Structure 1
């Protein structure tokens, strides 16, 4: 089965967009991801960048990536089915996912705690049995899972700050609105050794005390919502593939409508959340977790569909230099995802250059653009001589239990 250029292009676009949000976790206290007042906030530009990324990037690039992971499952299933051989079948797909799980485990254990590969591998194993169901059933499954995500994002992780114990309130504020002393502690941890960083992620809190149950439940439900959101978007990806939407088979009118409707309505819903949070000056962590952040979750699927539709609307005129460049990156997505972690750890953590906490949001955006340019250049050079990325080659070789061709 030949590769679908538009899917590679979308995957490349999503991959290059991931650092726009991930850099905030690599380079700043994690609270800066959610709260514009945490990191170098004395500038209107800081708040503009925060708001822009919340509307157009947060959950969107990851959402596209998740949709395309679901699409990839269907494509692999159809490829093996067409081969009509007993050598490769369902077991091969689960082996492929298991290998991805191992890669993700190594990534999260030794490099970066924000890994998504392990989550995707587990999600693929859970979702693969549903590949054969019809479009209507897939959409219903997506709706049910996403409704659970919304519930976990509000009822599950929501709370009234007045009901928290003093220790619980201090611990939850640490992850949302840390004090200057706590920010300095974050700096000391991430400018230390990898052992210090891993220990922090295991303990979660800075005060050395056991995490309060109220805080643990809140953070657990918030994280669980993110995981189930990825799974829901995988199901949406399978639905969009079967509908022909993600492979360019819909009409131009449909792509035009969904690009405008998805981006405008999804963006407007996301803006509501910003208005709510800015209305409380991001000072009430209970408001944020209870419903201030849920609007991003509600608006994201529409914007993801809007981005996909916009790409197909534009690509209908034919492949361009920029779309082919993005497609090359998309063909090496696993290699580049891991390379992004290696570069960011080397630049921002204490084991490398130690730039943690030193770059403002606008500088991180420039860093992300520079990183994108680097990956575009590497992809063009690498694929001039090789058939696929190095990690893709390893992944494929283990999956099919034989060395895959690498040189052109």
Structure 2
């Protein structure tokens, strides 16, 4: 009984509202970016430099997503994972519990759900990567704060080094590559829009193999944001945000100054991409991998700054419920979208343009927001969160 009392779910008044709100907003940004991967073979269209809808409205939406969404919200979500990881360990220490078994069970559950999501629902899963990198994060938890920051920026800059090497080495100059990509593109459209469950599974395996090559560049960025999240918690910036407004303002302004030029370079290069063999393809992603984390920090500090104002806080806490069950809502987004676009559902794959996709993302998120409010009127935790807790604590 004593153990169960110690392991009660965190009460609403004990939660840090800013973190929940950030998770909720990050979920929207992730859905906006993921929508084109759910609804079209974007993975191969971008490699081939093909644009299906280039009218003014769709071109505007494309640039809008590149400027304000791509790599920003996955960076934000990664920062929050690091913060949540450090917070979880600190609460275990407060309860005088050895963290090892609890952390391993927590990450193992995340990994198992990630595998199911990756192999049987959608190839764009991020949970598997978070779980695997989470085990690595344990090695960095006892480091000094200065060391944590140095490691964070080292990981954040490493993908830029990789892209520079790739650019000099002439990545993608294989003459057979465009033909191979065109064949896979054609097969993916058929599999997802008309194919059987077996066709979809085979295509998903191909997509996983393809996207994980790109993840080799993205994972250092994700881990770097993990470490920044750990530092933000351990340094007290999050816990004492109201006392550090000047520091938040400096970080906000500095991250904006770093992010702006690189996002401009990235979007400019994106317009000029002709194929995966184009240098602009590498410059585009290198720019995104620098500007994404920088502008994510700008978003995070801006929100913390705003939420110290009572009027803004009252408005923004409306997003807290969806952030409190971010695990559940992330999986729901995949279930909803694959049902809409894949052949076992409405079969709309390849038939929804970018503008309609953005509108659809807004509608889905709005429904999730209302559902989350409804859920917490009756329950203390989201459904997946409750199972995760039981698996972690064995209660």
What TM-score comes out, normalization by structure 2 length? 0.89
Q: Aligned with 2:278: secondary structure? A: helix
Residue 389 (str. 1) matches residue 382 (str. 2): yes
Change (3 A) 1:286 1:110: same
Equivalent residue number for residue 284 of structure 2: 292
Change (3 A) 1:159 1:374: farther
Say which of 348, 354, 369 aligns to 1:361: 354
1:152–1:221 Cα contact (<8 Å) kept:
no
Residue 128 (str. 1) matches residue 143 (str. 2): no
Change (3 A) 1:320 1:391: same
Per-residue CA deviations over 1:31-63 (Å, capped at 9, x if unaligned) read 478479634323122222111111211111111
- Paired with 1:169 and 1:137, the residues of 2 have a C-alpha distance of 44
Q: How many residues align?
A: 380
- Paired with 1:328 and 1:33, the residues of 2 have a C-alpha distance of 36
Change (3 A) 1:120 1:334: same
Say which of 52, 55, 60 aligns to 2:67: 55
Residue 241 (str. 1) matches residue 233 (str. 2): yes
Change (3 A) 1:233 1:162: closer
Say which of 331, 334, 351 aligns to 1:338: 331
Of Structure 1 and Structure 2, which has the larger fraction of its residues in helix? 2
Equivalent residue number for residue 259 of structure 2: 266
- Paired with 1:394 and 1:67, the residues of 2 have a C-alpha distance of 23
Residue 110 (str. 1) matches residue 120 (str. 2): yes
With 332-341 and 44-53 compared, the bigger mean Cα shift is at 44-53
1:259–1:310 Cα contact (<8 Å) kept:
yes
Structure 1 position 158, deviation (Å) = 6.6
Q: Aligned with 1:244: secondary structure? A: coil
Equivalent residue number for residue 307 of structure 2: 315
Say which of 17, 26, 29 aligns to 1:17: 29
Equivalent residue number for residue 194 of structure 1: 197
Q: Aligned with 2:295: secondary structure? A: helix
Gaps in structure 2 of 5+ consecutive residues = 1-9
Q: Aligned with 1:198: secondary structure? A: helix
Say which of 156, 181, 185 aligns to 2:187: 185
Change (3 A) 1:68 1:227: same
With 385-394 and 130-139 compared, the bigger mean Cα shift is at 130-139
1:262–1:305 Cα contact (<8 Å) kept:
yes
Gaps in structure 1 of 5+ consecutive residues = 206-210, 403-408
Change (3 A) 1:111 1:182: closer
Equivalent residue number for residue 320 of structure 2: 327
Residue 170 (str. 1) matches residue 186 (str. 2): no
Equivalent residue number for residue 208 of structure 1: none
- Paired with 2:212 and 2:118, the residues of 1 have a C-alpha distance of 17
Say which of 145, 159, 171 aligns to 2:155: 145
Over the aligned positions, Cα root-mean-square deviation in angstroms equals 2.5
Q: Aligned with 1:285: secondary structure? A: coil
1:28–1:39 Cα contact (<8 Å) kept:
no
Equivalent residue number for residue 88 of structure 2: 76
- Paired with 1:93 and 1:63, the residues of 2 have a C-alpha distance of 22
Structure 1 position 146, deviation (Å) = 2.0
Residue 43 (str. 1) matches residue 55 (str. 2): yes
Residue 93 (str. 1) matches residue 95 (str. 2): no
With 104-113 and 192-201 compared, the bigger mean Cα shift is at 192-201
2:122–2:204 Cα contact (<8 Å) kept:
no
Equivalent residue number for residue 363 of structure 2: 370
Structure 1 position 223, deviation (Å) = 2.1
Per-residue CA deviations over 1:233-277 (Å, capped at 9, x if unaligned) read 101111122233344255223333333442354132111122133
